[in-house]
Chains A and B, each alone.
Chain A
Amino acid sequence: MKLYIEKLMIIFNREFTGYFRTPLASIFLLVFLALSAGMTFFMGQFFQRGQADLNSFFVWHPWLFLILMPAIGMRLWAEERKSGTIELLMTLPVTNSQLVLGKFLASWFFTLLAIIMTIPIWITVNYLGEPDNGVIFISYLGSWLMAGCFLSLTSCLSMLTKNQVIAFIVSTISCFIMVMAGFGLVLASVRSWAPLWLTEVIQSFSFLSHFKRIQYGVLDLTTFIFFISMIMICISINIFLVQLKKAD
């Protein structure tokens, strides 16, 4: 087990530091912070609402992650396949699960870094009023879990192509579908013809429905299990795809 974690951490470190070897990290962090702040203060009308909470901050996260998580995850496997380093990597004494987990965790913790960097917004709301910091903490946690879902899905899809642009587009569309499944308009259109159970199934798979509950400070077991199991399912499929597509 110790050896398993050791190898996983070597992969993790290479991937995590890889974000900082190119301008990708700084551009991503800058765009994420600028967009999340802009959306919170201008589109979310943070000041006009006059409420000491971060709803106007978190409400945009599914939409931001929709674009930004595929941007982070598109390179994970597509680049390895295109440059041929996948052959080097997979002839090292390492298992597919160590590779997939190491890469995924690196991208997930890089996202955590981006989320942590939004703390000034949390300080602002504490300075201006007395928000429920428990709800804010749960929202942060939920936001990170949701980002994990987007990333694991993107990682999985980036194994299917050698082209990072294709990986980005397909991932964005897939993430969009996962978000939209819980959108009122989509559910209403499904409800008109589908049985109730199908509508509920579609809604239960939506990132948006689960994230909305978290936003109000409700991190119930179902939501937690949903996000974690979504991540685990995507990682398992990713491990399978690595074995299947490595030599294509």
Chain B
Amino acid sequence: MDIEKLRADRPALIAHLRRVTAELRVDILEMLCESKSGHPGASLSSIDLIAALFYAKMRFRPEQPEWPDRDRFVLSKGHGVPALYAVLAHFGVIGREELKTLRKHGSRLQGHPANRLCPGMEASTGSLGQGLSVAQGLALASRLDGDRFRVYCMIGDGESQVGQIWEAAMSAPKFALDHLCVLADYNQGQNDKLVREVMPTLEPAADKWRAFNWHVVEIDGHDIAHILGALDEAERTKGKPTLILARTIKGKGVSFMELNMKYHGVAPSPEETQRAIAEIRGRAS
């Protein structure tokens, strides 16, 4: 895989990502099945966004995860971390075999991101609402040092019920952090119920971010071409941070998990995993 070549050939990148995201979904399901715990819904809703970001934009060195000039990706919705582990293993930042240690005693792959333990984690997250502030701090540091790196941060829609998200939503445009891009994985579900049942007034979400002076791009978060276009637009946008409001489906790719809140925080059984993998591979072939 020559990533620079793919970055220069958009149709090839899109085709490649369509294949890769199917395999990453399989990795996520196998990982969760092995650990017998974890959050399939948010991992499956975010994997297209995370994979596209790493393939198309992130500047990083798999063999040197602490490279100071690397772009930063802060996964604020920490429960979706199996998706990030799958992508990091795909690029060799962590070992593929290590994926089987997810959530196990002694593993670097904690149930939620732990940056002191695992490469590729830029902050420890999992208490919702905290990562965007950290991303803002990283972006300010980058700015002080002459815009050395870009900062990406993924938040969720359930997570956007946390007040701290809106503190950072208010402040990042004040600092004109145009090298900060938020990927909002609006997957419509949260722990107990659908987001529209828990907090219908989260919408209209795009208007709220625009009102704080963010550049907002609203997309289908499972459409690879849309995602890449939005990431391009974020890079082009000057003077303000960008929020990619990605409309996604919790559990995307596995019919019996889609928008089924049972799979917010419950791992699939071996039988369910096999069924899910057959469905994903059947669709991809």
- Asked if A and B are interacting partners, one says no
* Residues of B bordering A, CB below 8 Å: none
